[in-house]
Amino acid sequence: MEVVRVAGLQKVYGDGGNPLYALDNVTFSVEEGEFLVITGSSGSGKTTLLNMLSGLDVPSAGGVWICGSSLKDMEAEERTVFRRRNIGVVFQQYNLIPVIDVYENIVLPLRLDGALIDEGYVEEIAKMLKIYEKLHKMPTELSGGQQQRAAIARALVMKPAVILADEPTGSLDSKTSMEVVGLLKSCSEKFGQTVLMVSHDEDVAQMADRIIRIEDGKIRE
């Protein structure tokens, strides 16, 4: 089953006189359960692409379909709820909330959604990501790798169809990077998530089922 479809995606920045095509006619699909890595040099359009996929930003042309639903055709509020339920996002800087503990960070999407907390599932993903003992620590008491594993748990907690990760290992050393990505991969395999991850780390890219390379806003095969 096709979980992600990107068709004719274009993002133009700047005024009419000097437009910058951050994304230029990008088309691809991702099947359920795939672990896709997106690579490309700095400024090639990777973050722009992920922001379109997560519905954080709107395309100038073309569209994104997640599980058959077109993001740009949703009302703002509908899109917010759809994103929360279907798209888990992991950032380079973890983006944990510093004033609440790790457990509260992980279950935050459930609280925002008014959903019940499946304590068994939270325990399972925390154990799998090796942060179970850290659940009642504050984010600042954790190492970078532990914080990123907590952020991955938060992305998994809604059991979204898709996980999007923009250079999730960009702030980690290479050994920790491999561990974090390995855990993300095992979780996505176990819980059936489709993963799209931006990375220019060659070792990390080796773990992908498929690699898409972007140059100057275009897919280069």
Per CB under 6 A, residues contacting ligand ADP are 13, 20, 22, 40, 42-48
Which CB, 13 or 70, lies closer to ligand ADP?
13
Provide, rounded to whole angstroms, the least separation between the CB of residue 206 and Mg ion.
20
Shortest CB 28 distance to ligand ADP, Å = 16
- Among residues 46 and 83, whose Cβ is nearest to ligand ADP? 46
CB closer to Mg ion, 20 vs 99: 20
Span 88-117, contacts to Mg ion by CB under 5 A: none
Exposed/middle/buried for residue 118 (C-beta within 10 Å: 0-12, 13-18, 19+): middle
197 binds, among Mg ion, ligand ADP, none (CB under 5 to 8 A by kind): none
Give the residue with the Cβ less far from ligand ADP, 160 or 217. Answer: 217
Sign of the C-alpha dihedral computed for residues 85, 90, 91 and 96 taken in this order? positive
CA distance readout (Å), 17 to 12, 13, 20, 216: 12, 11, 10, 19
Residue 206 CB, shortest distance to ligand ADP, in Å, is 20
- Binders of Mg ion: how many residues, by CB under 5 A? 2
Q: Which is nearer to ligand ADP, 32 or 216 (CB)?
A: 216
> Taking CB under 5 A as the criterion, which residues in 30-59 touch Mg ion?
46-47
SS3 sequence of the chain: CEEEEEEEEEEEECCCCCCEEEEEEEEEEEECCCEEEEECCCCCCHHHHHHHHCCCCCCCEEEEEECCEEHHHCCHHHHHHHHHHHEEEECCCCCCCCCCCHHHHHHHHHHHHCCCCCHHHHHHHHHHCCCHHHCCCCHHHCCHHHHHHHHHHHHHCCCCCEEEEECCCCCCCHHHHHHHHHHHHHHHHHHCCEEEEECCCHHHHCCCCEEEEEECCEEEC
Minimum distance between the CB of residue 179 and ligand ADP, rounded to whole angstroms?
24
Q: Which does 22 bind (CB under 5 to 8 A by kind): ligand ADP, Mg ion, none?
A: ligand ADP
Cβ 144 to ligand ADP shortest distance, Å: 20
Q: How far is the CB of 51 from Mg ion (least distance, A)?
A: 9
Given the complex with ligand ADP, which of 43 and 182 has the nearer CB atom? 43
Binding site for Mg ion (CB under 5 A): 46-47
